[in-house]
Amino acid sequence: MVGKMDEVIVKNENGVANSLQVSCLHDIPEGNFNPGRAVVIKNITDDAVECSVRLVNQEDFVITQIYPGWNPELIAEIEDVPAQTLQYGY
């Protein structure tokens, strides 16, 4: 059928759905953030932002640098997000 979009779900090696393109984009508020789904993170500043993150399929948080632009990790939660620094997409 012409014009019909077939849904294709890409999964990573852990079996978690992953998008090659972001179709929804939102600002991350200051503080702790739990989107309730796997997301990718975009740093909208010119400098690296240090945050405590929990990746999908990981129990523990780890402190890491979120570099300017899109970051490849699939994020489940972030703690201590600085104001007006990050966006998330899925």
In the chain, what are the domain boundaries? 22-89
Q: How many helices (H) and strands (E) does the chain have?
A: 0, 9
The chain-wide mean pLDDT, for the chain, equals 89
Q: What is the pLDDT of residues 4-26, one digit of tens each?
A: 556 667 787 778 876 668 889 99
Token pair listed for 49: 């932002």
Tokens for 52?
């405590």
Residues 30-50: pLDDT tens digits?
999 999 999 999 999 999 999
